[in-house]
Amino acid sequence: MESMRCSLENSIRPATLMAMARTRRQPPVATLTFRPRAPRRYSERSAAWRRARIAAYKVCWGPGNCHTSDIMAAIDQAVADGVDVINYSISGTQTNFQDPVEQAFMRAAAAGVFVAAAAGNNGPNYFTVTHPSPWITTVAAGTHNRSSNGSVTLGNDSTYVGASISQALPSKPLIDANAARLPLVDENHANACLTKEIYEEFYRGTGPVLDPALVAGKIVVCEFGGNSRVDKSLAMQRAGGVGMILLNNGPGQTLNTELHFVPTVQLSVSDRVAVTAYAATAGATAAISQGVMNLTTPAPFTANFSSRGPSQAAGGNLLKPDIIAPGQDILAGVSPVGYKGRLFDVLSGTSMSSPHIAGIAALMKELHPKWSPMAIKSALMTSAGDVLDGPNTAPKVIRSQGAGHVRPNNAANPGLVFDSGPIDWQGFLCGIGAVLPATCTAANVPVLHASDLNVPSIAIGFGKFATKQTVTRRVTNKSSRTTTYTASYDMPGFTVTVSPPSLTMASGQTKSFTVTFAPNTATPNYYGGQLTWTGGTSASDQRTVRIPMLVYAP
């Protein structure tokens, strides 16, 4: 039986696999739609990558209606079409390297195609990251420094500031959704301001949840949860409401700037009690201000919804997610069929962050056309910066950002890269027992411990060592000159030994080093750290090559 996969976004929508290629390969200049078992081409798109050609392979046809056979066919077709980069904004397995889609991506990577995939939207819970395979660049979602703020002024002269890009709305009567529910509608369903479709499909209700006679001409107070935020404003518009105050009702919920169907301001959970209490008073009114763009918002932070590691796969000996990119409040082109006639919307999810990495990888491929997908992945990871969630050695930070927040300009000339290919991946699969030993022996594939796979990160999972453990990595000098790099590290709770402590490498030369971990003050728990190689040909030409480390102390 075919497995079923669903889009990562909070609201239901068709999903596509995006791919990019340079003109030298002469793939079709088109956006492609992938129909079940039969790819078809349609329309043309442009790209930021100079003279790039973009293709979209449609593989999903409704809620959860994403068949594995269609996805695999799309991946194989993209490779056959000669693409250089694939973006996959669709969920996937958390643990299975032999999953058919993960294997299809391994074939794509072996053919020289860079693959970026969404990490998932099940944060802030740990152990929720998807796409564990090392040949995939798994992308988490972060915030950016642009935000749009609006305010609500209540009739008692209290003002509350939240997220909004809405037009101003003068003072109107205010009502709480619970007070506007139809008979037989549950209080929670009313507070969520469910649309008729969501109420009937997922909650076994009948008809809308709000009474148009009570909502018409008013601003309505709704609460987070139950359906998408934008759908709540759609329910409001249908009921005749003229505005909405959307209240977060739990810790960690983010404020999202979105295109709503009626003027809307989303407020934090700290405002919930006061706003709902006032809305329950007789003659309550409210006014919504014009949204104002702010270009200096502190960023990046990990988006609350972004799935976190550590990965459950390979015994925790492979770090995921790999990297983080902007994924909250992203202006995106959308199909007017699925977006009530809109051509653009503001969306959030790792489905938004993954294309950022795919696009940057395309630029990297143009700059370094002979680099392998893993060399490009390494350049992106080792040059990344940090989110503002906490110290970069904090396990919670590494579990959310991986190597860090992408910095494209730094990635262009990374100095050293950690490369790998099909033989390494097969050895990794043999080492974790995903392939029968007899098969590995017959193919003469060297068995490789998961922690020793040559990726630009280090992870050691549960119970892997008693007193110390050593892992091996190899790096290649991608600069044009002979360069000496010196290692440094920061890892509380552990003594870390890097051997050799410095590497002098000619252009194109590859050398190996080992990293030995020995707990000193560490007690059983996860510990994070950073290993940095610093070097250059002169004081003005220095490169910093940094990889994250996540180790579970016994």
Mean pLDDT in residue range 201-221: 95
Residue 191's H or E segment, with its range, is helix 187-191
Domain membership flag for residue 354: no
- Return the pLDDT at 1: 33
Residue 274 domain-assigned (yes or no): yes
Domain endpoint, select from 294, 310, 341 = 294
Structure confidence at residue 63 as a pLDDT band (50, 70, 90): low
Q: What is the pLDDT of residue 464?
A: 58
* DSSP 8-state symbol, 462: T
**Which of 110, 138, 15 is closest to 67 using CA atoms?**
15
Average the pLDDT over 169-176 and give the result. 98
Least confident of 29-38, 229-238, 483-492: 29-38
Contacts of 261 (CB under 8 A, 6+ apart): 230, 233, 234, 236, 237, 340
C-alpha distance from residue 531 to each of 108, 488, 521 (Å): 30, 6, 19
Average per-residue pLDDT for the chain: 89
What does the alpha-carbon distance between residue 44 and residue 28 come to, in Å, rounded to a whole number?
A: 9
CB 160 within 8 A of CB 152: yes
Using the 3D structure, point to which of 279, 294, 309 is the last residue of a domain: 294
pLDDT category of residue 17 using cuts at 50, 70 and 90: confident
Contact (Cβ atoms closer than 8 angstroms) between residue 22 and residue 365: yes
Question: Quick one: pLDDT at residue 27?
Answer: 33
Angle subtended at Cα 189 by Cα 237 and Cα 268, rounded to the nearest 5 degrees: 75
- 492-529 burial code (b ≥16 CB/10 A, e <16): ebbebebeeeebebeeeeebebebebebeebeeebbbb
Expressed as residue numbers, the domain containing 181 is 147-294
Residue 109 domain flag: no
Give me the CATH number covering residue 245.
Answer: 3.50.30.30
Q: Name which of 132, 219, 127 is nearest 180 in CA terms.
A: 219
- The pLDDT value given to residue 22: 59
> In the chain, what are the helix, strand and coil shares in percent, each to the nearest 5?
25, 30, 45
Using DSSP's 3-state secondary structure scheme, residue 124 falls into: coil
**CB-based contact 383:136 (threshold 8 Å):** no
Token pair 């949204």 in the structure block, residue: 291
Contact present, 145 and 298 (Cβ < 8 Å):
yes
Q: Could you report the per-residue pLDDT of 504-530, keeping only the tens digit for each?
A: 999 999 999 999 999 888 888 999 999
Please check the confidence at residue 46 and state whether its pLDDT lies above 60: no
What share of the chain has pLDDT > 70, as a percent? 90
Within a domain: 234: yes
Q: What is the reported pLDDT for 39?
A: 36
Nearest to 278 by CA among 152, 155, 150, 151: 155
Question: What CATH number does the domain containing 461 carry?
Answer: 2.60.40.2310
**Is residue 405 one of the residues assigned to a domain?**
no
Question: What tokens does 458 get?
Answer: 């280090």
- Any idea which of 19-33, 54-68, 347-361 has the lowest mean pLDDT? 19-33
Between residues 157 and 17, which one has the greater pLDDT?
157
Q: Which two tokens stand for residue 143?
A: 């915030």
Residue 212's alpha-carbon distances to 209, 217, 236, 491, in angstroms, are 9, 9, 9, 60
Total number of residues shown for the chain: 554
Asked if the structure places residue 283 within a domain, the reply is yes
Model confidence pLDDT, tens digit, residues 436-460: 888 888 888 889 999 999 999 999 9
Going by pLDDT thresholds of 50, 70 and 90, the confidence category of residue 28 is very low
In this prediction, residue 540 carries a pLDDT of: 76
Q: What is the pLDDT of residue 405?
A: 98
Query: How far apart are the C-alpha atoms of 162 and 176, rounded to whole Å?
Result: 18
102: which DSSP letter? H
Residue of higher predicted confidence among 52 and 284: 284
Domain end marker among 262, 294, 326? 294
Are 525 and 511 contacting, i.e. CB atoms less than 8 angstroms apart?
Answer: no
User: Which of 72-86, 196-210, 501-515 shows the lowest per-residue confidence on average (mean pLDDT)?
Assistant: 196-210
pLDDT at 14: 43
- pLDDT confidence bin for 48, thresholds 50/70/90: low
- How many domains does one find in the chain? 2
DSSP state of 291: P
pLDDT digits (tens, 9 = 90+) for 341-387: 788 889 999 999 999 999 999 999 999 999 999 999 999 999 999 99
For the chain, the maximum distance between any two Cα atoms, rounded to a whole number of angstroms, is 81
Does residue 338 register a pLDDT over 90? Answer: no
Confidence of residue 143 (pLDDT cuts 50, 70, 90): very high
Model confidence pLDDT, tens digit, residues 78-100: 999 999 999 999 999 999 999 99
Is the pLDDT at 423 greater than 60, yes or no?
yes
φ/ψ bin of 317: left (φ > 0), alpha (ψ from -120 to 50), beta (otherwise) = alpha
User: 7 pLDDT band (50/70/90 cuts)?
Assistant: very low
Q: Note whether residue 441 is domain-resident.
A: no
Contact 418, 401 (CB under 8 A): no
- Is residue 265 in some structural domain? yes
